[in-house]
Amino acid sequence: MRPQYVQPTRSDAPPGDQRRKQKTSAVNRVAAQTYAASLRAAFGAYRFTRFAAQDPLFERRPDGGPVVFDRDHVAANLLIPPTASAQDRQRIIDLIAPAQRHRHFGSMQSSQALAQSVFGTITILNRLPLMSAIVAEDGRAAFGPNLDESKLELEKAIQTLGEPRRTSIDVWLEGPYQVAVECKLSEVDFGTCSRPRLRPHQPSYATQYCEGSYTRQRNRTARCPLTTLGVRYWDYTEELFGWSSETDHRPCPLASTYQLVRNVLAVCVDEAGALDPKRGHALIIYDARNPSMASGGEGDRQWRAASDALRVPGLLRRLSWQAFISQWPNDPVLGWLKEELAAKYGLRPEKPPAPSEREGNEFFSIVNGKKTDAHLHEEILAGADPVEVDKLDRENARNIGFSEEQILTFFGPPLTESE
Q: What is the pLDDT along the chain (419 residues), one digit of tens a residue?
A: 443 433 434 344 444 555 545 555 666 677 888 898 889 999 999 999 999 999 999 999 988 789 999 999 999 999 999 999 999 999 999 999 999 999 999 999 999 999 999 999 999 999 999 999 999 999 999 999 889 899 999 999 999 999 988 889 999 999 999 999 999 999 999 999 999 999 999 999 999 999 999 999 999 999 999 999 999 999 999 999 999 999 999 999 999 999 999 999 999 999 999 999 999 999 999 999 999 999 889 999 999 999 999 999 999 999 999 999 999 999 999 999 999 999 999 999 997 666 555 543 333 334 444 444 443 333 333 344 556 656 655 665 565 556 677 667 555 788 776 55
Give domain status of residue 158, yes or no.
Answer: yes
β-pairing verdict for 370-372 and 365-367: antiparallel
State pTM to two decimals.
Answer: 0.80
Q: What is the pLDDT of residue 93?
A: 98
Q: What is the pLDDT of residue 31?
A: 83
Give domain status of residue 199, yes or no.
Answer: no
Q: Is 33 in contact with 23 (CB distance < 8 Å)?
A: no
> Which of 90, 38, 27, 88 lies closest to 64, judged by CA?
38
Give domain status of residue 56, yes or no.
Answer: yes
Q: Count up the domains in the chain and report the number.
A: 1
Catalogue the long-range contacts made by 272-278 (C-beta closer than 8 Å, 24 or more residues apart): 273/160, 273/232, 273/235, 275/235, 275/236, 275/239, 275/240, 277/240, 277/312, 277/315
Q: What is the pLDDT of residue 380?
A: 33
Q: Is 350 in contact with 320 (CB distance < 8 Å)?
A: yes
Q: What is the pLDDT of residue 406?
A: 61
For residue 155, count CB atoms less than 10 angstroms from its CB and return exposed for 0-12, middle for 13-18, buried for 19 or more.
buried
Q: What is the pLDDT of residue 33?
A: 83
Give domain status of residue 401, yes or no.
Answer: no
Give domain status of residue 292, yes or no.
Answer: yes
- Range of the structural domain that residue 132 is part of: 19-193+252-372
Q: What is the pLDDT of residue 62?
A: 86
Give domain status of residue 6, yes or no.
Answer: no
Give domain status of residue 91, yes or no.
Answer: yes
Query: Burial letters for 248-257: b for 16+ Cβ neighbours within 10 Å, e otherwise?
Result: ebeebbbbbb
Give domain status of residue 166, yes or no.
Answer: yes
Question: Phi-psi bin for 346: left (phi > 0), alpha (psi -120 to 50), beta?
Answer: left
